[in-house]
């Protein structure tokens, strides 16, 4: 789907190849100067992969370019001697990669090794790989913060683009995704990231920019007309504010309960049809039937049916017309990450997947509680909130193992995992003004210039 959208966006193949080569040269040159630039560039490019051109060669696109740059960065990262704290990749991450590989082989043997199956496998492995790259390459506080700012630039630009699309175009906001539900899940996930960072920064002047980003994300998500995205955003907001700020919790709860007053009519009407039957067009009732059919498949195949085999397996064990695709006779999309992982990867895959999410979430919270640097504490809370928002959104859409939606979240989780490991091993140190984030460096440079000017006077 991403290649098709990029092909339509760049109809002239020569122009598309030229743009791709320009991006490739700039990104690789940028990454060659500093390994952390590869992570920062990945955070900028991954959200826009579906709009960016390819090289005119199968499987060679910006997504592949990012993976190559990250692999190159890992190879260039010096390995510390034994006993000096080598970065450890979580065991659950390695086990999940093995589970995905086995599911890919199983799906290919039961069906066929098609190009679509390989793209699906590549996307899921890439998600895990960007997390490993963040753990391996973020070997200093400066590298962590640089990668963090790159990720914020990428998702912030997409959030702003969705707001402009909502304000100046009619119809549902789709952003860089193929559907409004995917865009709603994207905005819900990263608006939760902005919320977590803004709560952690407290009285820091940079907080106002993240508060503005939260407001922009909330407005843009209304344009998607996605119920799942709004529910995920509201539920995560309430849970986080219940712990961090009770006054804001009450205010947000009142706003949510009075949604009929301020919510656009075309959006509020969708919430009125939640209890509609599947035969009358109720999408929620249809999804519940799909989930039940998936659990029926799981009862017959507790060790999984293989990657990409959810639809064919549901078609075998269900004859419900609301569950089956009328054109292919196979099951519809799962619309639930937990159900999809359970059916395709098996119970063992689900256990490993949940353990990985719990472990990365715990490391993010440890970074928030223990790191003396304020911005990195914001990274920890923001990553934890983004994981929470993405998980809630994944209960109605499969997104946690999709690079274009959740790739940046996995980079943030990897950064937190590395930072938590470093804090445990060595005493932390604060950055000097020359090593800080771009905003702080500019502010300090301006202040020093003003002092010098006044002294000359």
Q: What is the pLDDT of residues 282-320, one digit of tens each?
A: 677 888 889 999 999 999 999 999 999 999 999 888 888
* pLDDT at residue number 188: 92
Total Cβ atoms within 10 A of residue 160: 14
Q: How far is CA 206 from the centre of its chain?
A: 23
With a pLDDT cut of 70, the percent of the chain lying above it is 84
Tokens of 166: 């909502």
| Structure-model confidence comparison of residues 310 and 13, the more confident one | 310
Highest-confidence range of 75-84, 101-110, 164-173, by mean pLDDT?
A: 101-110
Q: How far is CA 109 from the centre of its chain?
A: 30
The pTM score is: 0.88
Distance CA 22, CA 44 (A): 15
3-state SS class at 331: strand
Distance CA 144, CA 130 (A): 14
* pLDDT at residue number 178: 74
* pLDDT at residue number 449: 43
* pLDDT at residue number 267: 67
* Per-residue pLDDT band at 359 (split at 50, 70, 90): very high
Give the model confidence (pLDDT) of 231-269 as tens digits. 888 888 898 888 887 888 888 888 888 877 777 776 666
Q: Write the DSSP symbol of residue 245.
A: -
Distance CA 324, CA 301 (A): 19
Total Cβ atoms within 10 A of residue 78: 7
Distances (CA, A) of 292 to 87, 296, 301: 41, 6, 14
Q: How far is CA 142 from the centre of its chain?
A: 22
End-to-end CA gap in the chain: 63
One DSSP character per residue, 261-328 reads HHS-HHHHHHHHTTT--GGGT-HHHHHHHHHHHHHHHHHH-TT---TT-HHHHHHHH---TTTB-TTT
Q: How many CA atoms lie within 13 A of 232 on its CB side?
A: 35
Q: What is the mean pLDDT of residues 345-350?
A: 95
Total Cβ atoms within 10 A of residue 319: 10
* Per-residue pLDDT band at 224 (split at 50, 70, 90): confident
* Per-residue pLDDT band at 9 (split at 50, 70, 90): low
* pLDDT at residue number 281: 52
- Average pLDDT of the chain to the nearest whole number: 84
Contacts of 300 (CB under 8 A, 6+ apart): 317
* pLDDT at residue number 387: 95
Give the model confidence (pLDDT) of 334-343 as tens digits. 989 999 999 9
| Structure-model confidence comparison of residues 137 and 260, the more confident one | 137
3-state SS class at 96: helix
* pLDDT at residue number 436: 47
Q: What is the mean pLDDT of residues 62-85?
A: 80
- What are the extents of the domains in the chain? 2-78+89-272+336-427
Distance CA 126, CA 405 (A): 12
In which element (H, E) is residue 153 found? helix 141-168
Q: How far is CA 269 from the centre of its chain?
A: 29
* Per-residue pLDDT band at 321 (split at 50, 70, 90): confident
* pLDDT at residue number 447: 52
Alpha helices in 374-437 (DSSP H): 374-393, 403-425
* pLDDT at residue number 452: 46
Distance CA 384, CA 250 (A): 22
Identify the CA nearest to 63 among candidates 79, 47, 78, 74: 47
* pLDDT at residue number 427: 55
pLDDT at 176 exceeding the cut of 50: yes
Ranges assigned E (strand) in 186-290: none
* pLDDT at residue number 455: 47
Give the model confidence (pLDDT) of 396-429 as tens digits. 888 899 888 999 999 999 999 999 988 876 655 5
* pLDDT at residue number 21: 87
Taking the CA atoms of 165, 1, 402 and 55 in sequence, report the sign of the dihedral they define.
negative
pLDDT at 196 exceeding the cut of 50: yes
Give the model confidence (pLDDT) of 362-397 as tens digits. 999 999 998 889 999 999 999 999 999 999 999 888
* Per-residue pLDDT band at 12 (split at 50, 70, 90): low
């Amino acid at each position: 789907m991403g290649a098709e959208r990029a092909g339509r966006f760049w109809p002239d193949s020569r122009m598309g190849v030229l743009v791709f080569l320009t991006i490739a040269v700039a990104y690789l040159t940028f990454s060659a100067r500093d390994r952390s630039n590869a992570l920062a560039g990945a955070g900028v490019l991954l959200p826009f992969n579906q709009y960016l051109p390819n090289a005119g060669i199968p499987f060679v696109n910006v997504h592949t370019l990012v993976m190559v740059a990250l692999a190159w960065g890992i190879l260039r990262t010096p390995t510390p001697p034994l006993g000096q704290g080598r970065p450890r990749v979580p065991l659950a991450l390695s086990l999940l990669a093995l589970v995905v590989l086995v599911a890919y082989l199983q799906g290919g043997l039961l069906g066929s090794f098609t190009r679509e199956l390989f793209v699906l496998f590549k996307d899921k492995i890439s998600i895990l790989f960007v997390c490993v790259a963040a753990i391996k390459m973020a070997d200093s506080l400066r590298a962590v913060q640089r990668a963090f700012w790159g990720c914020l630039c990428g998702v912030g630009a997409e959030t702003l683009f969705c707001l402009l699309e909502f304000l100046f175009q009619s119809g549902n906001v789709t952003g860089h995704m193929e559907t409004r539900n995917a865009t709603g899940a994207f905005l819900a996930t990263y608006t939760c990231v902005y919320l977590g960072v803004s709560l952690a920064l407290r009285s820091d002047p940079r907080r106002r920019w993240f508060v503005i980003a939260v407001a922009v994300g909330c407005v843009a998500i209304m344009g998607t007309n996605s119920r799942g995205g709004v529910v995920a955003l509201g539920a995560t907001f309430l849970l986080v504010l219940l712990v961090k700020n009770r006054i804001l919790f009450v205010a947000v709860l009142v706003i949510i309960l009075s949604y009929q007053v301020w919510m656009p009519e075309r959006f509020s009407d969708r919430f009125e049809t939640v209890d509609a039957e599947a035969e009358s067009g109720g999408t929620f009732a249809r999804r519940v039937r799909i989930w039940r059919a998936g659990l029926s498949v799981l009862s017959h195949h507790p060790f999984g049916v293989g990657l990409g085999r959810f639809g064919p397996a549901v078609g075998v064990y269900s004859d419900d017309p609301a569950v089956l695709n009328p054109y292919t006779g196979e099951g519809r999309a799962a619309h639930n990450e937990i159900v999809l992982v359970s059916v395709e990867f098996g119970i063992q895959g689900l256990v490993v997947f949940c353990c990985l999410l719990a472990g990365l979430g715990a490391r993010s919270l440890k970074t928030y509680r223990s790191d003396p640097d304020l911005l990195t504490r914001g990274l920890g809370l923001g990553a934890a909130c983004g994981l929470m928002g993405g998980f809630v959104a994944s209960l109605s859409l499969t997104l946690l193992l999709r690079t274009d939606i959740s790739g940046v979240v996995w980079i943030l989780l990897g950064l937190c995992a590395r930072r938590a490991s470093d804090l445990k091993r060595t005493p932390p140190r604060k950055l000097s003004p020359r090593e800080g984030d771009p905003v702080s460096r500019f502010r300090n440079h301006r202040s020093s210039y003003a002092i010098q000017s006044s002294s000359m006077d």
